[in-house]
Amino acid sequence: MKHFIFYRLFILGLLTSAVCLSAEARGKYDNTDTIVVARDGTGQFRSVGEAVEVCRAFMEYRKVIFIKKGVYKEKVVVPSWLTNIEIVGEDRDKTVITYDDHANVPLKETGLPMGTFRTYTVKIEGCDITLRNITIENNAERLGQAVALHTEGDRLTFVNCRFLGNQDTVYTGMQNTRLCFEDCYIEGTTDFIFGPSTAWFENCEIRSKADSYVTAASTPADIQYGYVFCHCRFTADEGIAKVFLGRPWRAYAYTVLLNCELGGHIVPEGWHNWKDYHDPAAERIVRYGEYGSTGNGANPKGRVEWSHQLSAKEAKAITKERVLNI
């Protein structure tokens, strides 16, 4: 009995120490100072997840997590109680957060496939988060859906970032949330930008790695805007020749291109009806449109009849400020 009581007291002591240390760590970093992450040990932390963990909940100030060049193999979650954080890489192409989960990896608990929505490399649940000068990668083989970036927070900004993967690279996973991608590179094979969020893409390169589909928006019927691509370039790997701009994951999918450059890999019809999820009889409620497309893939007369070529007046009304309500 004495040994049992001693053991329980010992475990309780360890738990109390851990809580105290965690609280002490958070207190130490409860300020506007930049946190530095470095694989070689020259920063305060060696992993991105450790740096995220010490940030205080619902900060009123801006906190920067600076990540030195290196490859960080980890799954990172920025939880819902964290706000006002900026995650900045030292070098966009040489600061890489990577993981390799895919939808068919079995879960340890059940042995069942993990499915699409657990495969993320980075998941952002918090609001007012910015990522800058960094690469987020899911480097799983082409064995199923494999998300690199999964977003659920509102007012998220991504500047000069790369998002690397194959199927389902970027999942904009929550309706009534607003995202802004500026000067980013996004690659993938199938439906590699998908979900219900409102997102503005400006001066981005959207690169296809297979004959397939770029977007799969699932915009809710009562949301005015879904995906807007402004001054973006749609490119493809060598040998890719049959790519659709999008297919509707849900009936009211919204995707609009404004003054974008389209490579010759974009098929003349432009858009596809995803019959698994969308009633062909309701094609006209899908909100697909273009204005001012250029390049070999621009073909206004060849587009499906249920997409729209916007007038100059209609295009002018679609601004970053209106789309993101800022």
Q: Which residues does the annotation mark as catalytic?
A: 168, 191
324 Rama sector, left if φ>0, alpha if ψ -120 to 50, beta otherwise? alpha
Distance CA 234, CA 265 (A): 9
User: Of 50, 108, 52, which Cα lies nearest the Cα of 85?
Assistant: 52
Answer whether 203's CB lies under 8 Å from 180's CB: no
Measured in residues, the chain has a length of: 326
Answer whether 146's CB lies under 8 Å from 168's CB: yes
Q: Please tell me the number of Cα atoms within 13 Å of 277 on its side-chain side.
A: 15
Residue type, 135: T
Answer whether 153's CB lies under 8 Å from 129's CB: yes
DSSP state of 29: T
Residue type, 95: T
Answer whether 167's CB lies under 8 Å from 137's CB: no
Angle of CA points 185, 147, 71, to nearest 5° = 65
Unique residue bearing structure tokens 């009889």: 281
| Cβ contacts of 49 within 8 Å, gap of 6 or more | 74, 75, 76, 77
Q: How many CB atoms neighbour CB 279 within 10 A?
A: 11
Unique residue bearing structure tokens 């400020």: 321
Answer whether 102's CB lies under 8 Å from 75's CB: no
